[in-house]
A and B are shown apart, each in its own frame.
Chain A
Amino acid sequence: MSLAAEAGRDVHAAVRATRRRRRLDTAATTVAAGWLIVLAVLTLVSIATPLLDPYFQDFTSAKLEPSLAHPFGTDGNGRDVFARTVAGAQNSLVVAVITLVVGAVGGTLIGVAAGYFRGALDNVIGFLIDAVLAIPALLLIITIVSFRGPSITSIGTTIGLLMIPAFARVTRSIALTVRERDYVKAAVLIDTPTPRILVKAVLPAVAPALVSYAFTAMTAAIVAEGSLSFLGYGLAAPAPSWGGIIAEGRADLATAPWITLAPALALAATVMAITTIGERAKERYS
């Protein structure tokens, strides 16, 4: 009996060890989620109230160091960097979401179709994907954005279009294996219409990989938008976006580093937060 009790203790010790590890993960996820919530609340405040005006200029108080009145200091035009960073978040995240929707929906449709139907369709899609991937992405984006004008939707959809190949590859490989599964063959034998097979059998199998890749894609989209704005192909000034603010502050890096650092840190923190939550989502699904 005592042996059994002892055995029970050992099992519990091991369970406790894994619980401890899990608590650490939970803490990281909580911090990450907390950051995203704070960001969302501040964004709402800046939209709903005049408290955080990213355009208010006061040339008498240009390049002020961070203080109580200006937590992140002011920029060369005397605008509050905190207000601009919060407003930038809004633009950057909206672009990222548009990117994600375009990339995920387009990529999944194309990838699942190619993987499930195989044959000529797969070959044509494969060729198109390779062709898109062969063109330098930045060049393509800059060209398209130059033609269509730098709006949130044009930037979002353009980066999104370029993400279609990656999403298509992820979903195609899964659709390829799922179509060989016995439950798909069984569905064919009981005359399940193909659209229903795709929705009921293939999509749910693709979903977990899609979700975990979506987090990665989201971070890539934020960074891409940042880079684009930094290069001057993003939203037109004075509209704020993280990349744009970082670019504006570049000239003053030596004298007023906060202008660049605040949005850069916000960007880095957001990317890390999304990655952390994405990792948890991946764990849960696998």
Chain B
Amino acid sequence: MTEVTTPADEAPVLEVNDLEVRFTSGRSTVYAVNDVSFTMRAGETLALVGESGSGKSTIAKAVVGLVEPASGEVLLRGEAQAGDRVRRDRATRGDIQMVFQNPVGSLNPFMTVEANIAEPLRNRGVAKAERAARVRELLTVVGLDADTLGPRKPGEISGGQAQRVSIARALASEPAVLIADEAVSALDVSVQATVLNVLRRVVDEEQVAMLFISHDLAVVRNVSDTVAVLHMGQLCEIGPTEDILAAPAHHYTAALRAAVPEPGVPLGDPGMTDADPPSPRIRPTGCSFRDRCLAATSRCAEVLPPLTMVGPERAVACHHPLDRDAVASAIPSVTAQGALA
């Protein structure tokens, strides 16, 4: 398996190697994540992109240890982590934190905002006075006023505020890795921008590595350094975000990109068939995108395309990758508007 290399001087904070996750209920098995690998560095954001059923949220759960992988490993600062969170080292358990999709629903509704943020501190035995000071500090980091919002209950604040409180709570554990699982999907556009800005700032200033999970390519483009595109639990393509969005090598990335609506920009060619993807209940053979792919051949159904390097930091899993130079010129808006700005 080819892997995107990291510069030797910067050891990765998180490494995920050959991750496989299956869900079994009764006699049926869902192959949710199939042989996915990636690495993350401090102060950088890796986005996992894909549609429903792509396995992106399952990967997040496996990384924090809420879901036990069938095989593969999760390494935190080079140390292998147990599949189940409970068996992980208590001292480093808080190092991977998560922000969920539902802003208000991920805060304890029976506690005040302050108490919610203080929980992780309390659990680590931080003294009461110190907790209060730290909570104020954290609220300031996420741009909220401690005096007005601190004493409120989650039901009394807006979605955007609640999501920032969630970020503050995650930061209270001083994590090395922050997972944002569709963290802005439920928010209104005008509020989404605020939360994205807070997340970016946290990555820069606290030097955390962020795993940003989203279905929205436009959001991903503005927030992540690296992007990994997933389809039915398979990693299609991984590499620098701007590079991949400007010139996708995988047909799925291209199709996904073409489907994103943007004000004032007409949609491009769909670039895919109308077919449904294969059932996740059958052990995958070949490329999962083949039925929807316009370039698929018989080989795509038989042989799983290996992840192959197509540039210094780019890899694609496709038997017939798109000609990157040709694609770049076929998406004129990128270069044209980029130049305009």
A–B in direct contact per CB < 8 Å: yes
> B-contacting residues of A (Cβ < 8 Å)?
181-183, 185-193, 200-201, 204-205
Indicate if the CB atoms of B172 and A190 lie closer than 8 Å. Answer: yes
- A-chain residues with CB within 8 Å of residue B94 when the two chains form the complex: 190-191
| Nearest CB in chain A to that of B100: its residue | A182
> Which B residues contact A (CB, under 8 angstroms)?
64, 66, 85, 90, 93-94, 96-98, 100-102, 105-111, 119-120, 123-124, 166, 169, 172-173
Contacts of B106 in A (CB 8 A): 182-183, 185-186
Q: B172 to A189, Cβ gap below 8 A?
A: no
Q: Is the CB of B123 within 8 A of A186?
A: no
Instruction: Report yes or no: B119 in contact with A190, Cβ–Cβ below 8 A.
Output: yes
Q: Is the CB of B64 within 8 A of A183?
A: no
Selected from A189, A192, A193, the residue in CB contact (under 8 A) with B64 is A189
- Report the minimal beta-carbon distance from A13 to chain B, rounded to whole angstroms: 30
Q: Is the CB of A190 within 8 A of B169?
A: yes
A193 touches B108 (CB 8 A): no
| 28 sampled A-B residue pairs with Cβ under 8 A | A182-B102, A182-B105, A183-B105, A183-B106, A183-B108, A185-B66, A185-B106, A186-B100, A186-B106, A186-B108, A186-B166, A186-B169, A187-B108, A188-B85, A189-B66, A189-B97, A189-B98, A190-B94, A190-B169, A191-B94, A192-B119, A192-B123, A200-B110, A200-B111, A201-B108, A204-B109, A204-B110, A205-B110
Between A182, A190, A200, the greatest number of chain B beta carbons within 10 A of the residue's beta carbon is seen for: A190
B109 touches A183 (CB 8 A): yes
- How distant is the Cα of A192 from the Cα of B123 in the complex, in angstroms? 6
Contact A191 B111 (CB under 8 A): no
B187 to chain A, nearest CB (A): 15
List 4 extra interface pairs beyond A189-B85, A190-B123, CB under 8 A.
A187-B108, A190-B97, A191-B93, A200-B108
Residue of A nearest to B106 (CB): A182
Name the one of B66, B100, B124 contacting A191, with C-beta atoms under 8 angstroms: B124
Query: Which A residues touch B169, using CB under 8 A?
Result: 186, 190
A230, B5: Cα distance in complex, Å: 83
A25 to B216, CA, bound (A): 50
Smallest CB gap from B124: residue in A:
A191
Q: Closest residue to B107 on the A side, CB-wise?
A: A183
Known: A181-B105, A183-B108. A193 touches B123 (CB 8 A): yes
Whether A186 contacts B98 by the Cβ 8 Å rule is yes
Tell me, in angstroms, the Cα distance from A190 to B123 when the chains sit together: 7
A220 to B151 Cα, complex, angstroms: 41
Chain B residues positioned under 8 Å from A192 (CB to CB): 119, 123
For B90, the chain A residues whose CB sits under 8 A away are 191
Which residues of chain B are within 8 angstroms of A185 by Cβ–Cβ distance? 66, 98, 100, 106
CB contacts (< 8 Å) of B110 on chain A: these are 200-201, 204-205
A190 to B102 alpha-carbon distance, docked (Å): 17
Q: How far is the CB of A111 from chain B (nearest CB, A)?
A: 19
Within the complex, what minimum Cβ distance (angstroms) separates A72 from chain B?
A: 48
Given that A185-B100, A200-B111 are contacting pairs, would A190 and B120 also be in contact in the complex, using a CB cutoff of 8 Å? yes
**A249 to B51 CA separation, bound complex (whole angstroms):** 74
Task: Please provide the 7 A-B residue pairs with the shortest distance between their CB atoms, ordered closest to farther.
Answer: A182-B106, A190-B120, A204-B110, A182-B100, A183-B108, A191-B123, A182-B105
Given A182-B100, A201-B110: A188 in contact with B123 (beta carbons within 8 A)? no
Q: How far is the CA of A22 from the CA of B64 in the complex (A)?
A: 50
Residues from chain A with a CB closer than 8 A to the CB of B166 are 186
Once bound together, how far apart are the Cα atoms of A181 and B154, in whole Å?
14
Residues of A within 8 A of B85 (CB): 188-189
Bound complex: CA of A183 vs CA of B107, how far in Å? Answer: 5
**Roughly how many angstroms separate A193 CA and B122 CA in the complex, as a whole number?**
11
A180 to chain B, nearest CB (A): 10
> Min CB distance, A208 to chain B, in Å?
11
Q: Which residue of A lies closest to B172 (CB)?
A: A190
Q: Which chain B positions have C-beta within 8 A of A193?
A: 123
Let me know if B66 and A188 touch, CB within 8 A: yes
CA distance A182 to B107 in the complex (A): 8
**A186 vs B120: C-alpha distance when bound (angstroms):** 10
| A56 → B minimal CB distance (Å) | 53
Q: How far is B120's CA from A185's CA once the two chains are assembled, in angstroms?
A: 13
The reply to whether A190 and B105 contact each other, CB–CB distance below 8 Å, is no
In the bound assembly, the distance between CA atoms of A200 and B172 in angstroms comes to: 19
B120 pairs with A191, CB closer than 8 A? yes
Q: Which of chain B's residues have a CB closer than 8 A to the CB of A190?
A: 94, 97, 119-120, 123, 169, 172-173
Within the complex, what minimum Cβ distance (angstroms) separates B168 from chain A?
12
Bound CA–CA A42/B40 (angstroms): 74
Chain A residues with CB below 8 A from B173, complex form: 190
State how many angstroms separate the Cβ of A185 from the closest Cβ of chain B. 7
CA distance A241 to B109 in the complex (A): 44
Question: CA A187 – CA B120 in complex, angstroms?
Answer: 8
Q: Which residue of B lies closest to A181 (CB)?
A: B105
Residue of A186, A201, A204 most packed against chain B (CB within 10 A): A186
A188: chain B residues at CB < 8 Å are 66, 85
What is the distance, in angstroms, from A177's C-beta to the closest C-beta of chain B?
12
- Output the nearest chain B residue to A196 by Cβ-Cβ distance: B123
Give the residue name and chain of the B residue nearest to A197 (CB). B108
Q: Which residues on the B side are within 8 Å of A181 (C-beta)? A: 105
Q: Which residue of A lies closest to B99 (CB)?
A: A186
Query: Which residues of the partner chain B approach A182 to less than 8 Å between Cβ atoms?
Result: 100-102, 105-106
B76 to chain A, nearest CB (A): 14
* Chain A nearest Cβ from B269, distance in angstroms: 38
